[in-house]
Each structure stands twice: as C-alpha cells, then as structure tokens.
Structure 1
Amino acid sequence: MNQQQNVLLSQADIGAGASDSTKSQQAVSDKASMTPSTASAEQVQQWVYIAQDKRQTAQVRAKALRQLAPYPSQNSLVAVARSLQDDSDLVREAAVIAAEPYQFAHRWRMLSPLLQDQSQQVRVTTTANLIRDFGKMTPDQQQSMTVPFEELKNYLKAQTNPKSMLLLADVYRWHQDWDKAQSLYEQLLKSEPQNVQVWLSVADNLRAQDEDSQALDALNKAIALQPNEANLYYSKALTLVRLEQKEKAAKAIEQAAQMAQTNSYFWYLNGVLQEPLDIEKSVTSFEQAYLISGAPEQLYAVCDIYVRTQNSKTQACLTELGKIAPDYVIEQLEAKRKK
C-alpha cells in the first residue's frame, strides 16, 4: 500500500475504522466513541501553528493537521480552512481529515468544493468524510454525491486489504445500501472474527434499520470473543436504550466506562443512565467525566446534577462554572435550585 492509500485509511481510522459514534446525549446514535487523546493545549496550539507555517515541508504540515483531528477548536478550524486551499495535495487531504470533528453543515461548506479537486486522493478522502452524513443531506446534496460515491467505491474495490474492505462496507452503510454493507461485513467476520470494529459496524448497520434485537445478538457474540473491549459494551448500551432496557443499558455503559477508564464521555453517559437507578453512582460518574476532560460541558453536567440533588458542593460548582459560562447559564441553574 502506498503512502496516499495509507492517508485515506487514516480517514477510516478517524471515522469508520475507529468508531462510528456521535456523542448524542440521548445515546441512540449510530456511532461508537474512542478513548480521547490527551495532548496539552500547548501541543495542540503548536500543531495549529505548524499546519499554517509554509516554511515547513508539506509532509510536516500534513502530519500536524492529522494530529489536530481529535482536537476541534476555533484555532484548529482556522488552520483547517486555510489548509484546504493549499497548493499541496498532501496538505489539502490532511486538512480534510482534520475537518472530521466539525458539524456536517460546516464540513459541507468547507469540503464540498474538493469533491472536484484535481487530485483523486483528495477527492476520495473528501467523499469518505462527507458520505457518512448522507442521511442528513438535502436531495441536491445527495445528488451531487453520485459521481464522487462511484469514484470512492471503485477506488476501494481496487484495494486488496481488509481496512479498505471495511471502509467500503461502511461507505455502503452510510449510503443506506444496507444489504451490500451487510454482505461485506459477513465476509470480514469470516476472515477476521476478532476484529472489534467489524462487529461494531455490523451493529450500526442493523440499528440503522431498526433491527435492534439482531444488533444486540451480534454484540453479545462479539463480547464473547472480546470480553475486555470497552467499545462493544458502549455499543451494547446504545442498543439496549433503543430496546428500552434501561437497567441493562446502565450496566453495559458502566462496564464500558470502567474498562476504558479515561474516556470522559463513557463516564458522562454512565451518569445519564445511572441517574434514575442510583443517584450516587450518577453523581460520581459526572464528577469523574469532568475530572478526566476538564471540559465546560462536563462541568455544567456536574453542576446540573448538584442543583437537582441539592448537593452541598452546588455553590462551589456554580462559582467555578461562572468563570467560563455566560450569565444566563448560571441564572438557569439558579432557577432550578430555587424550585
């Protein structure tokens, strides 16, 4: 496999190959999240600078952009937007990969012009980025994906490695060609039964068709093969929520959080699912999520549960949140507190 093919497969690792899970607070989306990286703010800012520094080689700038992919921010977005206009094919492609965390509307606006890029590698990587949101597209947007979809399909069919085959299956799934996706997944399960991502994609494919019981069966088979894989328990929790088996879902996400240890979203979701069952577990899970991530939204979740449970640490939490949140956010929480 050449270097360009490896770069396309890194797109799969970010999205299809790694995890297909949006961080929906309702926990019913068709995705599965990875344990977050822990680069410092200073390191992220350095990558932002390198990505835009034209004194650096294209290879160095492209590497910096790919490293930015897990760290969306305003500065990162500026670096991505500028790099999408770069003269280097390698830099433009890396910028497409770095655009992955941003909302579809923003990505479509930034990336859709590259569907007609002069470089095939940029075109297929762009298509792989956008096609996963095919179901969110307008009819006109879907129509504009027809030719790029065919090109990406043919490109992946020409590859002979399992990662390309998995990405092709995922591309079919995103394009809502469920049967074609399932056929490829079944081939992969025969050749790579220990491959966790294939099982996760199978579950996503079944959930997308509202076949939640079958998705649960697949995940249970996968867990029997890989009992220590946190993402399988996370996906199982999503499926159990859809099946309205809330207690079993809470147990599954608790297992996922304990296995992953440092995945703040798993702990956050554990807080959500434990709340109706065990308020102490819920509070502890929200606290753990914030301790891991330090993210404002996680601090808000902690303060919110404190307010609603009249926790003795409520005021301290609101004071801390007030340093970073708009006044109206604190006012809304204070209003809950007075009820």
Structure 2
Amino acid sequence: MINLPKYTYSLLLVFAFNFISSEHSDAAEFVGSKACIGCHEKAYQDWQGSHHDMSMKHADSDSVLGDFNNASLASKDNKTTKVSSFFKKGRQYWVNIQGEDGQFHDYQIKYTFGFTPLQQYMVEFDDGRVQLIPFAWDSRTKAQGGQRWYNLYPEMTQKHQEFFWTNTGQNWNYMCADCHSTNVDKNFDLKTNSYNTTFSEINVACESCHGGASDHLNWAKQVNKTEMVNNVEHQSKGFDRDLSKSVKQWQSSAPNKTLTPKVIEHSQQVLVCAQCHSRRTQISNNDHVKGNAFGERYLLDLISSSNYHPDGQVYNENFVYGSFLQSKMYKSGVVCSDCHNPHTAELKLPVAALCLQCHQSENYASTQHHKHQENSTGAQCVNCHMPETTYMEVDARRDHGFHIPTPDLAKQLGTPDTCLSCHEDKNSQWSSSKVAAWYPESTVKEEKDFVAVFSAINLALNEQQLQGVASELSRISQTISYAGIIRASALTKMASVSNTNTIIAIARAVKNPDENIRLGAIEGAQSMASAEKWRILSPLLNDKVLSVRTGSAFALTSLWSNLSAQQRAQLTPALNEYITSQHFNNDRSFSHSNRGIIKAYQGKYEQAIKAFKQGITIEANFAQTYLNLSQVYYQQGQHQQSITTLQNGIKANPDDASLPFNLGLAYIRIKDKTSAAKALAKATQLAPNNSHYFYVYGLSLEQKQAGSAYKALYQAFKLSNNPQHLYALCDMQVRHKNPLAKQCLQQLAPLVPANVIQGLTQALNNG
C-alpha cells in the first residue's frame, strides 16, 4: 500500500496482482476420470465418496443431504424474524429466501458443495452466476449437534454487504470453481456481464491433480499391460508432473531424535496440493506445476494480520499451505502423502501412530516428552502441535505449521495459547510456568523471536522504536534458519518501517531463489525513494516467475512521471503484460481499478476514469474503486465530482468507514468544515477503533466545537498511545488557554523531549 499523507489520499494498490496467459497448445487433453478405472480401479474406488469426489455435485437424491421436506429456518434481521424454507418440486430442490430486492423468492438448488461436516447449496442465475445460499446443512449426527439447518452468515443480511448471498463474496465462478471442479474455464463476458463457466468434471477428479491424461492413455497403449499397477509412479509415463514423495528413504542418525531423509529429491506433489489447499488469488491459467513456481498461477497470501497471528498460527482459514511452509516438516522433505492417502483424503494411519513414522516412539511417545498421562488427550501429538480452529461453526481444521506451544508468547503478546485449548480453567501464566519447568533447555524462544517484531508492527511506536523494528525485520529477512515464508513476510512489513538496513535487506532479497521472498521484497519496497525503488526492483522486470515479473512492473508504475524514456521502455513490456493480464479477473472491480491506477500514473486520466467507472459497474460494493476515482477527479481539480463519487460510494457501501473519512478530507479541501465534521464523525462511528480518524476529526472541530475536539483527540491518543495525538491535544488547549492544558502537559511530559514541553509551557504562560 502507498503511505497516505495527512489530509490527502493516494491511489492504492488493490488486493492482489492478477494475471493471465494462454495455455500451451501442446498441453495434454482432459479425458475424464472414468478413463482411469480400467487400470487404476483401487485408486478410483478410494476416491469415491471422498471430500474430493463430493466437492461439488449436481443436486439430486444421491448428493443432497439436507432436509428439503418443507423444513424452515428462522433468522433475525433488525429485530425482525424472517423465515426461509426448504422444499421439493418433484425431483428438484428449492429454497424460499430473501433476494437482493428485499423480497422472498423461490430459487432452485442446482448444486451441492461438500458433504461433511456441513453441506452448502448453490443457485444458478440466468446470467451464468452461481451463488452459494447462506444456509448450510449440519451433516454431523444428532448426537454431535448436527442434522439441522443453520445460517453461515447471520450478519450478512443487506444487499450492499460483500457476503450477502447474491454478491461477489458468495460467487462460485470466481471464488470457488477453480478448486471444487476440474479443468475450469471461468468464461466471463465483460460486454454482457455474464458467465459461461465450464469444467471437464464437476468435482475434484483424477486430472485435477495428475493433469490432462490423454498422453498417459497413449503411453498406456504402447506398453505391456502387466506394467500397469494401481500404485504406478506417473512421472515419465505420459504425465509431466512428478507426484512422488520427496524422500524415498528415512534413516536414523545420532544425535537426532527423529528420522532424517537420506536424500531429498525434487517432487511437485506439494505444489499440486497447494493449488487448492492454500489462501491465494488465482493469477492465470498457467500450469504452475510444470513451471515449478506457485507464482505462475497463484499469488500466495503471506503472514498477514488478517489471516495469521504474529507467531504464524492460523487465524482465518489458510487451507494448510501457508502454515505448512513454516514447518520443519516441509524443510525436511515431508510431503502431503507421507501422512494422507491422496485418493481417500484420509490419514494413512491412526493419529497416534502417524507421527511415530519419523518421530521415534522411545523419544516422543512417552511421558518424559509430552508430560501428560498415557493415552490422554494431552498425550496425542496433534493436540499440542496441530491445534484446531473451528470455521463455519462446525468445521474444525488443524494448523499444519506443527508449532511448538509457546504460552510465554501468549502471555506477553496475546497469541493463541495451545495449552488452554484443553485447560480452559487455567491461564497463560500457569501454562508458561509449566512449560518452562518441563523444558528448561528448549530453544523455541530463540526460534520464535520474530513474533515480538511482527507484533510490534501493529503498535504505535516512537521513531527510535520504529528504527529498532526496522533493523530487526532486516535481520529476520536475511536469516536462513527462518522459513522462507517468514522471511518473505518480514520483507512485506518493511513497507511501513524503513531505514538503511531494510533497504539493504530488500536489495538482497530480489536476488533470492525463493519466489515468495522476491515477492515480499516488492511489497516492502513500496515506500522507497524513487531512485532506490527503480534500482532495486527493475531487475525483477525480467524475472522467470510471472507474479514477480508483473508485480514489479505494477509497483514501478508509480514512478512513471519521473522515469526517463529508456526506463519507460524497459518497464513497458512487463507492464503491458500486466495490463493485458488483468482481463483474467474482469469480473471483479479490483481488476479494473488496477488498470485505472496505471492509467492515472501515466497521466491518462480519461482512460483511468473509464476503468474506475467500469469497475463500479461490475462490482458496486467495492469501496476502493470509488476512492481511486474520487482521487483522480481531485487531481484534475474537479472537486465536486470527487465529492459526488464518494457520496455514491457511501450509498453503495454504507458500512465502509474509509469513504466518509475521505469525504471529510474532500470537504476540508474546499473549506467546508461543517460538512467535513459530519463526514468525519460518521467515519469514527463506523470505525471506533481507528485512532487516525479521531485525530483528523478532532482537528476539524477546533474552530466551532473545541470541547468536542478535545474529546476526539484524547480518544485518538487512548486508542493509539501515539504521543503525536496527545501533543495535538495539548497544543490546541495551550492555544485556547484552556484550564486543562497544564494537566495535559503533565501527561505529555514523559513521552516527548523536554524542549517540546518547555515550548508549550512558555506559550501557555505568555498568554
């Protein structure tokens, strides 16, 4: 993100880099899973009824688990009870539910989604959109609390909300199809704003993982049939994917307490699984497996505060890959099929035995290690090292970071305390003392020393503290003992804190063989001075990985007005590739907004306005596009159009605080302080924990409502502990000769240099 100066706002990089390129014409064709049965009957039977098989189905008596026998579900909306019903018309399944017009309508259920521990249902509209209804069927047994309808999104009852069931947040074509079906082509038509999405098979079938099988079938016709067995290795047999294990032989070697790999060989298995088991944005239709680069097709979410806790434990669903990349398992060559049967998607062994494949029982399956009674829940490896988080109310998923519990960090920084998952009557003071006594020689504290640094990013720090954080981020990003995703995430956080050390770290990171580290460097360089930014990032314009190459092009476009003709020529090929690529996500506003940002940086304002307006047409409830359009109008001196755009944005997105905040700034620019104060007040109401909003609101009130200004500024300080906010309050009270000024100065004194207090005190006394 571009740093925002006071009282202004800038065009923002929106969401993710998104790209497209055509498939190779010589790619193998998809033939369907039934073509696999003859030679791979065991694998096919294992797959039947699995999560992959049941990922999506046509709604019929075999697939639908929910009660559609005139069942009903009551929901409350603004204290009004609304009842939805589930029923049949012949062999069809229907739901009566509130539509975007606020009225209840009958909609046919066309598809099922998943099957356990819950099943979702989808409606198909005439324009090709397939939308998930907000109600799910709890398919657990009655004894487990299941066999009931429930609302997945009880707060999402308004048309303007992203996750209202007819909006983009619940759109299968963009959000779900790539992972729940095989060989998906989204086929969005911008001219008609409609979809014609296709797939080879409706569910996750054989070729979702193995790739198109036509060449494999040709190979099979040419070899002795006795060579074909159910567990045949597929590499070099008509497939261009190696799904074998990375480690063929594990060995015991002192003083290690776990088995170690004799050799780690290259395997593409994790890349294949990661295409769906990850938190990412699809960025192309390229074959990322063939290219051995996740960034050829997807952009991975790194360790951000929205999806992870500062220690790397999962917060929002990350679907495993982002956690697994942090683990020692991944570093040691463990792949998914070491633990999971890829066809049943179940564990290969009982939980108690699974970990002991490598972690020798005499060292780990003992009270000496786990400190719990034998056969108790605390004696099970997964309960300490793979804690569960429940999503969608009933779906418990385990963290695949295989973290060592750190209750001391939980006590200090508020990260999750795994011990308290079982010991609910205790606290982190208790658990940290226990762990310290049990494992006095543990090195986990040193291994996790990045956590305090990541936590500090979200705090209000003084300049000295910020410089310390910047230096620590630099150290973390360059320390090879940390997982690559941790190092990459440290780089991304340098965008908000910078010094000489971070510049050096980013310059080194762009040369790192890990594509995630190079991507982290791009984000970390956002706030760099123009010359440094160009010097460091421009070599990435020729990077071998699509997301890195075009991501750097987008980042460097902000320098366009300062670039020489030669530099623009160097940037243009990758930038053109990026612009063309945005068409892949034409169905989302951020795609159009990204193109508008580029045109605005190039001074092509009319083209920018056209792109932003197109984005608003496609997706009215994406606030950022309104902000960007408003900014372009402001840059052209068209203040009323800027204000009108923000007002329209507020109507379409009444819950988004950034719109009234920026509307307040727009009013300040035309010196309409009364309207500015009203807009800023609304922003603080919508975002009551945003200290900056209260700060600007307080400044806007000074001339007409001094008392309210004091309250707003003090609230800003209480939320942030930022001395700048308290200084603004004291300075205002000093200028007003307010009786509370002395008290304010006493509170400010320990937080700022003595000469600041002396100056304010002198100004107060001179009055």
Q: TM-score range by the shorter chain?
A: 0.7 to 0.9
1:198 equivalenced with 2:622 (yes/no) = no
Match for 1:125: what amino acid? G
Q: Does 1:249 align with 2:249?
A: no
Per the alignment, residue 646 of structure 2 pairs with: 219
- Give how far 1:333 is off: 1.7
Pairing 1:131–2:557 present: yes
CA separation in 1, counterparts of 2:474 and 2:722? Answer: 20
Alignment TM-score, normalising by the size of structure 2: 0.37
Amino acid aligned to 2:730: C
**What amino acid is the match of 2:601?**
W
In the TM superposition, residue 258 of structure 1 has moved relative to its aligned partner by 1.7
1:119 aligns with 2:543: yes
DSSP-derived class of the 2:689 partner:
coil
Q: Is the 8 A contact 2:477 2:505 kept in 1?
A: no
For the 8 Å contact 1:228–1:259, the answer to whether it is kept is yes
Aligned to 1:64: 490
**Structure with greater proportional strand content:** 2
Question: What is the letter of the counterpart of residue 274 of structure 1?
Answer: L
CA offsets, 1:92-121, max 9 Å, x none? 331231233x4x53x642553321335264
Deviations 1:51-105 (A, max 9, x none): 2321123223112333x2574265xx634531331323432331231233x4x53
After superposition, residues 32-51 of structure 1 pair within 5 angstroms as: 42=453, 43-44=455-456, 49-51=475-477
| 2:612 equivalent to 1:185 | yes
Letter of the aligned partner of 1:209 in structure 2?
Q
Deviation at 1:283, TM superposition (A): 0.7
Partner of 1:3: none
Number of aligned residue pairs: give it. 308
Task: Report the aligned-residue RMSD.
Answer: 3.1
Per the alignment, residue 327 of structure 1 pairs with: 754
Asked if 1:22 is matched to 2:448, the reply is no
Aligned identity (percent) is 23
Aligned to 1:4: none
Matches within 5 A, 1:65-104: 65-66=491-492, 68-69=493-494, 71-72=496-497, 78-79=501-502, 81-86=504-509, 87-88=512-513, 89-100=515-526, 102=527
Q: CA deviation at 1:189?
A: 1.5
Shift of residue 314, structure 1, vs aligned partner: 2.8
CA offsets 1:10-60 (integer angstroms, 9 cap, x no match) = xxxx34xxxxx7231xx244468xxxx797665235766532321123223
User: Which residue is 1:8 aligned to?
Assistant: none
* C-alpha distance in 2 between matches for 1:212 and 1:143: 35
Task: Give the 3-state SS of the residue equivalent to 2:671 in structure 1.
Answer: coil
Letter in 1 for 2:539: Q
* CA distance in 1 between partners of 2:621 and 2:739 (Å): 47
Q: Return 82-91 or 275-284, whichever deviates more.
A: 82-91
| Contact 1:52–1:79 under 8 Å retained in 2 | no
CA distance in 2, matches of 1:134, 1:311: 49
Contact 1:80 1:95 in 2 (8 A): no
Offset, 1:329: 2.4
The answer on 1:290 being equivalent to 2:717 is: yes
Stretches of structure 1 lacking an aligned partner (at least 5 in a row):
1-13, 16-20
Over 3 Å counting, the alpha-carbon distance change for 1:50 and 1:177 in structure 2 is same
Q: Which residue in 2 is equivalent to 1:229?
A: 656
Instruction: Report how far residue 134 of structure 1 moved.
Output: 4.8
1:152 aligns with 2:134: no
Alignment of 1:260-271 (within 5 A): 260-271=687-698
Distance 1:311 1:130 in 2: 49
**Once the two structures are superposed, what CA deviation does each residue of 1:224-262 show, in whole Å capped at 9, x if it has no partner?**
222221111012112212222111011101111121111
Which AA in structure 2 matches 1:203? S
Letter in 2 for 1:152: L
Matching residue's letter, 2:570:
V
Code of the residue aligned with 2:659 in structure 1: it is: L
Change beyond 3 A, Cα 1:270–1:295: same
SS in 1 for 2:612: helix
Amino acid at match of 2:594: L
In 1, Cα distance between equivalents of 2:765 and 2:654: 46
Tell which structure's C-alpha radius of gyration is larger: 2
Could you say if the C-alpha distance between residues 234 and 69 of structure 1 is closer, same or farther in structure 2, counting changes exceeding 3 Å? farther
TM-score when normalising by structure 1: 0.79
Residues 129 and 319 of structure 1, relative CA distance in 2, 3 Å threshold: farther
> Larger helix proportion, structure 1 or 2?
1
Contact in 1 for aligned 2:537/2:556 (Cα 8 Å)? no
CA shift, 1:177, in A, is: 1.2
User: Aligned partners of 2:687, 2:488: CA distance in 1, in Å?
Assistant: 29
Unaligned runs of 5+ in 2: 13-304, 311-412, 414-451, 457-468
Superimposed CA distance per residue, residues 172-191 of structure 1 (whole angstroms, 9 cap, x where no aligned partner): 11222101111111211211
Worse overlay, 121-130 or 210-219: 121-130
Query: Matches of 1:334 and 1:210 in 2, distance apart?
Result: 41
